[in-house]
Amino acid sequence: MKKYVYGLFDVANSPFQVLIISLIFSPYFANQIVGDPQIGSAYWQWTVGLCAIVVSIVGIKLGSFSDQIKGGRRNFFYISTLLCIFSTFFLWSCAPGAENIFKCLAIFFIANFFYELCQMFYNSYLFDFSEKNNRGFVSGLGFALGYIAIIPLLLLLINLFILPEQTFLNLDKSQFEHIRVVPVAVAIWFLIFSIPIFAFIQFTEPRVVTKKEDVQPLLSLVYREKKITNLGNFLIARLFYADAIIAIQISFSIFVVKVLGLSVKEIFQLVIITSVIQAVGTFIGGLLNDKIGSKLLIQYSLYVVLLAVIGLVSFQERTVFIIIFQIGAFFFGILQSASRVFMTSFVSQSNLGQGFGLFTLASRSTAILGPIMVGTITYFTSLDFGFLSITVLVLAGIIMLRRVDVPKSY
């Protein structure tokens, strides 16, 4: 029962990642608010990078603090989730026009900040909602359910708002209200499917810590006896390839619209197909994770993602492009799921908040580098060169991952 409750929060939050950060709202911002997809993409990337700086600083302290107070993880999880939902709803107010650029970026920054925090605390609960022998399955199931869940929401949006000339609620298409309603739908969806895990989670007991322990164990987790620890090597690897994941998610929809010239309807259709592919990939990947281990699964997935990025820039004929994209998408979800599972092998029940605070730090600290790097290269050269620069981050992640030993307890 509890493994399905855990997966329902992936159902809740996946539309924010896919529809707001990546595939629907970001092209709307670039094309209709900024009026230039290249410059709009750069602005969007820079905002995510700035948000990552703040998340990196705040997340690690909140994670450590949450381990020390009764109900800490649960309460921070609740608050960050609800604030993300609330601010996402207000993206509705971002009407077309350059005068709304700063307003839209500010609201998106707040929503994304709290999204990252609630994800940090949610990931730490994988330890509580699974057993050692089925952790890969539970993580993969969550991601699979999340990808599948996007489909009914998309179909609802398409049939009520996107396709009809006279939309449900008589929205004004000239003001792109049929697109601006997407964040409203995402916020309502997020709230409804967060309820089960909110109701299920129990208070966690505080650890007895000293003031010194608040800092020293954190350092010793990643650096000990004048060398980087095994966990430290994994977090550095994660730091690079997670940065690549973020850059791909943010820039891909704008890149696809530029290459294929897709309409809003066609983007929605592509999202539906991709969601099915990723759901199958993460479910199979979850089963494989429990058989062959997370490290091998992460390595194989990174090789495929690397080749996919190169292929998408090199082969832009429509059919070939979509095939390469779907192959990459299959392994993309596996990469995210396996990383979450692998992290649980480095932490204990007593320092989950602290451990996944580090995990978030590794995932987001160089999100400062990735989006800003891709955004800057895109701004001064082209979308193609900006997208291709992601390969540098993937390669760095592959190299560092080779130095990671699988923990004996795993």
| CA gap 304, 323 in Å, rounded | 13
Burial class (CB in 10 A: 0-12, 13-18, 19+), 265: exposed
For the chain, 410 residues long, give each residue's pLDDT as a single digit of tens. 677 788 899 999 999 988 898 778 888 998 899 998 888 888 987 898 788 778 877 877 787 777 677 777 888 999 999 999 999 999 999 999 999 999 999 999 999 999 989 988 888 888 778 777 787 888 888 888 888 888 899 889 888 987 888 888 888 888 999 899 999 999 999 999 999 888 887 655 455 444 444 444 555 666 666 677 777 888 888 888 877 877 777 666 667 777 777 776 777 788 788 888 988 888 888 888 888 888 999 999 999 999 998 998 888 788 888 899 889 889 887 887 888 788 877 766 556 666 666 666 666 555 567 767 777 888 888 878 888 888 888 999 999 999 888 776 54
Q: Can you give the residue ranges of every domain in the chain?
A: 2-195+217-401
- Give which of 292, 298, 327 is closest to 312, Cα–Cα: 327
Residue identified by tokens 């050692």 is 132
| CA gap 56, 60 in Å, rounded | 7
Which residues are within 8 A (CB) of 15 and not within 5 positions of it... i.e. 6 or more apart?
A: 149, 150, 153, 185, 186, 189, 190
Query: What distance lies between CA 305 and its chain's CA centroid?
Result: 16
Task: Give the side-chain half-sphere CA count within 13 A for 188.
Answer: 8
One of 1.20.1250.20, 1.20.58.340, 1.10.10.60, 3.40.710.10 is the CATH number of 2-195+217-401, namely 1.20.1250.20
Burial class (CB in 10 A: 0-12, 13-18, 19+), 48: buried
Burial class (CB in 10 A: 0-12, 13-18, 19+), 198: middle
Which residues are within 8 A (CB) of 98 and not within 5 positions of it... i.e. 6 or more apart?
A: 33, 34, 35
